[in-house]
Amino acid sequence: MGMPKYDRLLYILNLLRSRRNLNAAALAEECGVTERSIYRDILALSQANIPIYYDRGYKLASDCFLPPLNFGQDEYQFLKMALESSPLRMTGKYGELADRVMAKVEAGLSDSVKTEKKLHPPATHVSWMSTVDLNRAARFFADLERAIQEYRAIEVKYNAIETGMSTRVLEPYFVVFRARAFYFVAYCRMRQDFRTFRIDRMESLRVLAEGFKPRTGVSPESYFAGSWEVYSGETVKVVAHFSGAAARVVSSSSHHPDETITPLDGDTIRYEVTVRGIEEIQRWILGFGPQAEVMEPESLRKDMMRIGRQLMEVYQTDGG
């Protein structure tokens, strides 16, 4: 679905003010409508006494009716970088909004900032990794957001990693981008508890007519407090020793708000953290191979030993 006509007219004005030689085909592609719609829009703008003429593309005869924005060069570069690097651009809805906001910003820049941005290209760029299925995330994001805002229950067909496909009725609370993907937190009526769902693992989503009364005290801050990344569980204290390069890697940055790092003899450190849920931190420790040893809890230590034996069986088997 394209943007509403009023928003599209403003968007066309900003495009004409910020870019040159835009014909009907280019404007139609930018706005997601047909060329016939663009011709009607140009006519509507002309009837509103906005001076538009054609010379190797549509142009504004005057831009005095759109005053320049009072952005400095640093402010402009910051806003541009924030809009271009936001993971929300993957959602379809916010990708279009970001483009429209940026067109308005570009159109309203003062002459001094326009000149300065040509002379000083941006020095900082933000790049992030994502494992999201973009088409699926864009397909469900708007309906999911509407259900959250209106406190409406949803019926989803969800493909869970461990249990496979199931149909559930959920009461959604918020969407969050964590660990390179979009997730949403909802109360699952089947499990009678809150669960975390990845948006692009849904096969279908239907917003139901029935509403729900939201439970108090459920927020992204409270829900993920203590989690390693995305998932949560029972609170457990984990102690591990890291040596060599692993010790230097772990010591060089922060991994969890509740961690403690203590130097031991040689090039070894003691890492302690209290975390909710153990699966994600287990995968993190496994990534360091023999340079990491779990000391506590005993259940995790035994699980790592079991994984080690399984790996030995795999690699002792002749290939081919």
Local mean pLDDT, 10-residue blocks, the chain (320 residues): 74 81 86 87 80 80 59 85 84 81 80 82 78 76 92 94 90 90 93 91 94 91 90 91 95 93 93 94 95 96 94 77
Q: Count H helices and E strands in the chain, helices first.
A: 11, 11
> Partners of 300 in the beta sheet?
none
Amino acid 320: pLDDT: 52
Contact 173, 187 (CB under 8 A): yes
Amino acid 160: pLDDT: 87
- Cα–Cα distance between 100 and 102 in angstroms, integer? 5
Contact 83, 98 (CB under 8 A): yes
- Cα–Cα distance between 74 and 68 in angstroms, integer? 16
Amino acid 91: pLDDT: 80
Give 5-119's CATH code, choosing from 1.10.443.10, 3.20.20.70, 1.10.10.10, 1.10.3720.10. Answer: 1.10.10.10
Amino acid 48: pLDDT: 74
Write the CATH number of the domain with boundaries 235-316: 3.30.70
Question: Domain 134-223 class?
Answer: mainly beta
The residues, ordered by sequence, that sit 6+ positions from 236 with a Cβ below 8 Å of its Cβ are: 274, 275, 276, 278, 297, 300
Amino acid 318: pLDDT: 63
Domains 5-119 and 134-223 share a fold: no
Q: Break the chain into its structural domains and give their ranges.
A: 5-119, 134-223, 235-316
Backbone angles phi, psi at 156, to 5 degrees: -125, 150
User: What pTM was computed for the model?
Assistant: 0.68
Give the orientation angle of helix 134-150 with respect to helix 93-107, to 10 degrees. 90
> How many Cβ atoms are within 10 Å of 32's Cβ, its own excluded?
12
Contact 185, 176 (CB under 8 A): yes
